[in-house]
Copies of this chain bind each other. A is one copy, B any other.
Amino acid sequence: MSELYAVRRGRLRDRCAAAGSAAALVSRPANVRYLAGGAPPGAVLLLGPDEDVLVCPRTPVADPADGRPDEQLRTTALPEPDGDTVVAAAGMAAAAGAESLAVEEHHLTVARHRALGSVAPRLRLGDLAGAVEQLRIVKDEEEIACLRIAAEITDQALGELLESILVGRTERHLALELERRLVDHGADGAAFPTSVATGPNSGLRRHRPSDRRVEEGDFLSVRLGANYRGYRCEIGRTFVIGTTPADWQIELYDVVFAAQRAGREALVPGAEYREVDRAARQVLAAAGHGEGLAPRTGHGVGLEMEEDPQLAPGTMGKLDACVPVTVEPGVHLPGRGGVRIDDTLVVRPEADGGPELLTITTKELLAL
């Protein structure tokens, strides 16, 4: 396992060297974790010039969910209680004779960047940009195994909710119960705030649970996911409450279901990101729901919830095998409600059976 992190760091070092930088400073938490195996909050990773060092705050918070740093990696803690790990790491790079240091300009604040410049004025600061995020897009089988377990936990939590009585309970309580069940089944926590939306709220992207109670005839849409060892998946489903669904509910559900299937079927290695988005979007548009759609149909998942790639009209790039993504189209009709259907899948070649569906809860329209 430890070898894995050294390999990842080696890959990043090669990229830096090619860009003319002998050392790199990784500060974005998910990137630090990806390269170090685990890290307390506030830790940063200095790559080279001579060796790699994980620079931790003086009093790290103990948390098993943060993982354990790679044992091959040198780890150091700052002597001062409020020391800045970024500044300390830059000082170490300068002391080790580095002339240039690539930093994550999309994560570092202007104020920290300036502090870093003044502690090591001779260091030429470059931009690491999204180099680590790029490495993170294609997952190895150990990462996919974590996502698979996260999805199993998520399916279990959702399955149990469906067996309970829903009418009369509030969105907030259902959301809290789903989060408790995620933890019951072994999650390190929820991957993101669980969304439960009923009646006119249903189908809203990222609706935050309110005190509205579930009523007969409502659409109920839920969106949840487990965090397992740092890896996060997501599922979204829409149900109908009570008796038989109304005609408009069946029609709307069928359209979103068809759009989601089209998106899933477009997940082949080599497909452009925007093709996947278009596949789902055009089904919604053809049914007259082209306006007011979410800006994207899905996104990558992993150590963060909304990683690259972005499945959206304006995104350039092509899918690779072993990239986990969500496919999550939805339609919301103001005042009435709506439908969202959301899966996490891993892109696989057709020879391997096509996309691997991680979230397996049924997508039939259940009347609960």
With A172-B183, A314-B82 as known contacts, state yes or no: A63 contacts B208, CB within 8 Å. yes
Chain B's closest residue to A57 (CB) is B295
Q: Is A215 in contact with chain B by the CB < 8 A criterion? A: no
Partner of A59, one of B63, B295, B312: B295
Chain B's closest residue to A105 (CB) is B110
Q: Are B61 and A206 touching (Cβ within 8 A)?
A: yes
Q: Is A331 in contact with chain B by the CB < 8 A criterion? A: no
Q: Is A246 in contact with chain B by the CB < 8 A criterion? A: no
Q: Are B109 and A107 touching (Cβ within 8 A)?
A: yes
| Contact partners of A183 in chain B: CB under 8 A | 172-173, 176
| Contact partners of A106 in chain B: CB under 8 A | 109-112
Q: Are B64 and A210 touching (Cβ within 8 A)?
A: yes
Q: Is A58 in contact with chain B by the CB < 8 A criterion? A: yes
Question: Chain B nearest CB: distance from A172 CB in Å?
Answer: 5
Question: Chain B nearest CB: distance from A192 CB in Å?
Answer: 12
Q: Is A113 in contact with chain B by the CB < 8 A criterion? A: yes
Question: Chain B nearest CB: distance from A33 CB in Å?
Answer: 16
Work out how many copies of this chain go into the complex.
Answer: 2
Partner of A109, one of B61, B105, B206, B208: B105
Contact digits for A176-188, partner B, Cβ 8 Å, 1 yes 0 no: 1001100100000
| Contact partners of A62 in chain B: CB under 8 A | 204, 207-208
Interface residues in A295-339 by Cβ distance below 8 A to B read 295-296, 312, 314
Give Cα distance in the complex from A106 to B86, angstroms: 14
Q: Is A92 in contact with chain B by the CB < 8 A criterion? A: no
Q: Is A17 in contact with chain B by the CB < 8 A criterion? A: no
Chain B's closest residue to A193 (CB) is B189
Question: Chain B nearest CB: distance from A336 CB in Å?
Answer: 15
With A106-B109, A108-B109, A111-B106 as known contacts, state yes or no: A61 contacts B179, CB within 8 Å. no
Chain B's closest residue to A107 (CB) is B109
Question: Chain B nearest CB: distance from A83 CB in Å?
Answer: 10
Give Cα distance in the complex from A113 to B109, angstroms: 9
Contact digits for A90-116, partner B, Cβ 8 Å, 1 yes 0 no: 000000000000010111111111100
Partner of A110, one of B63, B110, B173, B179: B110
| Contact partners of A314 in chain B: CB under 8 A | 82
Chain B's closest residue to A182 (CB) is B176
Give Cα distance in the complex from A59 to B204, angstroms: 11
Question: Chain B nearest CB: distance from A347 CB in Å?
Answer: 23
Q: Are A294 and B109 touching (Cβ within 8 A)?
A: no
Q: Is A4 in contact with chain B by the CB < 8 A criterion? A: no
Give Cα distance in the complex from A205 to B63, angstroms: 11
Q: Is A81 in contact with chain B by the CB < 8 A criterion? A: yes
| Contact partners of A210 in chain B: CB under 8 A | 64
| Contact partners of A208 in chain B: CB under 8 A | 61-65
Q: In the A-B complex, list the 9 residue pairs whose CB atoms are closest, starting with the nearest.
A: A81-B295, A105-B110, A106-B111, A63-B208, A105-B111, A61-B206, A110-B113, A176-B180, A108-B110
Q: A59-B294, A106-B111, A108-B109 are in contact. List 4 more A-B contacts (CB 8 A).
A: A61-B207, A62-B204, A62-B207, A106-B109
Using a CB–CB cutoff of 8 Å, the interface residues on chain A facing chain B are 58-59, 61-65, 81-82, 103, 105-114, 127, 172-173, 176, 179-180, 183, 204-208, 210, 294-296, 312, 314
